[in-house]
Amino acid sequence: TAHQPIALHDTVIQDIETMAPKAETTPKVEELESENTSGGGGGGGNNAADKRNVSFEDEAGFVGQWTLGFLTPVLRFGATKALETTDLGTVKSKTRAEPSYGGVKAEWDKTLQLSLKSGDRPNLAAAIFRAYGPSHFYVAMIYYVVSALLGFVPILILGDIVAYFEQPNHETMVDPWIEVAALGVLPTIIGILQTRHNVVMTHLGVYVRTAVSMLTYHATLRASSYSRGLSSTGEVINIMANDAQQLQRFLSFVGLTLVAPLQIIIAIYLIYNEIGNAVWVGVGFMIVLGPINGLIFGQVSKLRRMVLKHSDKRVKLISEILGGIRIIKFNAWEDPFNETIQNIRQLEMNALTKLAYVIAIGFSLILLSAPILQPVLVFATYTANNTLTASKAFSVIALFNIMRFPFAFLPMGLVQYAQAMIAMGRV
């Protein structure tokens, strides 16, 4: 009987894998994929039998993966009928349940052994990071950094072109026609790099969510009676559902959160070269918002913990009610238990409402309006003693527009980081 939990776990792993849709059930998509081979959507789709256990992305070539050309057959087929699960092929091999769990479990066992020797607390995040492969994450971050830096080049070109038409004697950095062509090519390159970054981070998010869910499931099977008493059923369910989802959601903000300070610094430097000391008015405005950001982050983190606390209590009570539903029916206790659930749910809704208000007021009214007020203050300061030319105005406005996105979403990324740390602590 001691080996039954392991057998059950292996059975669930096999069931998850057998639930993956097979390519043989989607002949129409494969036919469309074979027609799209020239666009980099994948290898030849003529031999459907060889692709039964391979996803469209695994079969895609270099061009197909970078341009997401392997999705073209699916999208084209979706234009003719409503897509079903069997039309999407199998999932990417690296993000399936068994490889995700196997890799993380091996690294987690090593981490536990090292923590027993050193006495330090084991780090699950580091184990997942090593299992997935640090190189994938670093390459994805390089994609995002390069795309963020390239985003400043069109602004410099725009200012140069406007100055060329504004001042007859102005010499451009290169031939004006080359600059015009670059204005069309650079956004395409930036979009491709950001798309590739998003694809890698999405796969990492799915990998993390799958690994955390499977580790939690494995731990519940092997937990002793004493260990099971330390946590409730509702807490375990929330870890596998909400907390794992929160970790996946945070990974979509990692690139923006890490690169946003660099974008803001570069934008401020370029604005300083255009309008001089007037830029420090904008910098001071950002510094003033610092304590407000800290207050918002603290409130969001506090309310998030409160929501999870009430959610765990509610799920635990519902599980206990379902387990003893026969006794509850025999004694006609439906109304008292329903009232108890409603009271807990009301506390949870109150916390969620406060969290929604904090996010709406803190982000929408304060943080999102800041990039609009900032250039107004800067231009008012600059025009008090200087003449604002068209080239400076276009360049500064474009730089403020670039800074608006990281400035607005950086706090959101930090909030996601705080919530992810809470989720990781619960796991």
Q: How far apart are CA 110 and CA 283, in angstroms?
A: 47
Residue-level pLDDT at 3: 43
Is the pLDDT at 251 greater than 70, yes or no? yes
Question: Which of 145-154, 310-319, 372-381 is modeled with the greatest confidence?
Answer: 145-154
Q: Looking at residue 226, what is its pLDDT? A: 67
319-330 pLDDT per residue, tens: 888 888 888 888
Residue 279's nearest CA partner among 270, 287, 271, 267 is 271
Give the count of beta carbons closer than 10 Å to the beta carbon of residue 175: 9
Please tell me which residue, 202 or 122, carries the higher pLDDT value: 202
Average pLDDT value over all residues in the chain: 76
Name the residue among 54, 49, 52 with its Cα closest to residue 70.
54
> Regarding predicted confidence, which is higher, 146 or 45?
146
Q: Which two tokens stand for residue 22?
A: 């097979």
pLDDT of residue 290: 67
Confidence class of residue 51 from pLDDT cuts 50, 70 and 90? very low
Q: What is the mean pLDDT of residues 122-140?
A: 80
The 10s digit of each residue's pLDDT in 12-41 is 444 444 444 444 444 444 444 444 444 444
CB 98 within 8 A of CB 17: yes
**Residue percentage of the chain with pLDDT more than 70:** 80
As a whole number of angstroms, the distance between CA 243 and CA 282 comes to 38
Whether 224 has a pLDDT exceeding 80, the answer reads no
Angle (nearest 5°) at CA 373 between 356 and 160: 125
Sorting pLDDT into bands at 50, 70 and 90, what band is 46?
Answer: very low
Average pLDDT for 403-410 = 73
Tell me the C-alpha distance between 179 and 92, whole Å.
40
Q: How high is the pLDDT of residue 234?
A: 64
Assess whether pLDDT exceeds 70 at residue 54.
no
Six token digits for residue 235? 């807490």
pLDDT, position 189: 92
Of 302, 279, 397, 314, which Cα lies nearest the Cα of 351? 302
Q: Could you tell me the pLDDT band of residue 220, with boundaries at 50, 70 and 90?
A: confident
- Residue 56 scores a pLDDT above 80: no
